[in-house]
Amino acid sequence: MKNHVVLVVSIMVVLFLVLTISVPVTGYSHPSASVLVVPYIFQANSIPAAGLIQPEELIKLLAAPQGEKPLLIQVGSHVLYQEAHVPGSEYVGPASSAAGLEKLRQRLQSVARKTRIILYCGCCPWGHCPNIKPAWELSQSMGFSNVKVLYIAENFGTNWVDKGYPTAKGD
């Protein structure tokens, strides 16, 4: 009996090691890959640090049993939203376009100005995101005082999906 138990445990441990070591769950890139540094006007960098929320903080916020849940709005690509988004978040359209910005304005029109709002995109590396700054500026111009922007350094895949944070897909 004791030998059987040891055998079962050994198999489980081996399976665990195989599953966790052989399958990289964070994707891959060529070992020699490097990042091209291109001078660029990093428009998203002008959003003040006080206006940012890190993914880890948002996870804690969403997991908290009590407290007001934020209004989560994705202001980027619809295709990327369909593939994966933060559960419970709404899609309004890319804020870099006039149409997307107008949809955001309409969505926020009836929202109380003290509502906790979190805007996010994640389409591109932070400095290259065309959507997040216009969305942030609109929220400020409309008088919202409790808005945070989710800081996504690389993209939604690298900084959210690959970290195993919860996602939903579809509309």
Partner 1 sequence: MRYLWILIGAAGLLLALALASRHRSPGHTGQLQPGSQAPEFSVIALDGKQLNLASYRGKVILLDFWATWCGPCREEIPIFVQLQNKYRDRGLQIIGISMDDGPEPVRQFYRDFHMNYPVALGGARLGELYGGIFGLPIAFLIGRDGRIDAKHVGPTNPSMWEGEITRLLAENGSSAGEFNPAVSNRPECYLAACNVQFNALRRRDRVKFAPFNSSTTNVLSMT
Residue 38 in tokens: 């291109």
Q: Which of 97, 82, 168, 89 is nearest to 134 (CA)?
A: 97
Looking at the Cβ atoms of 27 and 48, the one nearer to partner 1 is: 27
> Shortest approach of partner 1 to residue 121 CB, angstroms?
10
- Please give the residue ranges that form the binding site for partner 1 (CB under 8 A): 2, 5-6, 8-9, 12-13, 15-16, 19-20, 23-30, 32-40, 77-80, 82-84, 94, 96-97, 122-125, 128, 130-131, 154-158, 160-162, 164-165, 167, 169-170
H or E element, residue 91: strand 90-91
Cβ distance to partner 1 smaller for residue 49 or 79: 79
Q: Closest separation between CB of residue 134 and partner 1, Å?
A: 12
- In whole angstroms, what is the distance from residue 56 CA to residue 60 CA? 6
Task: Quote the least distance from Cβ 116 to partner 1, whole Å.
Answer: 25
Minimal distance in Å, beta carbon 81 to partner 1?
9
Closer Cβ to partner 1, 19 or 64, answer by number: 19
Closest approach, Cβ 23 to partner 1, in A, equals 5
Structure tokens at 4: 């059987």
Structure-token pair, residue 13:
């441990």
Q: Tell which residue, 68, 42, 70, has the closest CA to residue 148.
A: 70
Q: Which of 36, 37, 74 has its CA nearest to residue 58?
A: 74
Which residues neighbour 31 within 8 Å (Cβ) at sequence distance 6 or greater?
Answer: none
**Residue number, 73 or 161, with CB nearest to partner 1:** 161
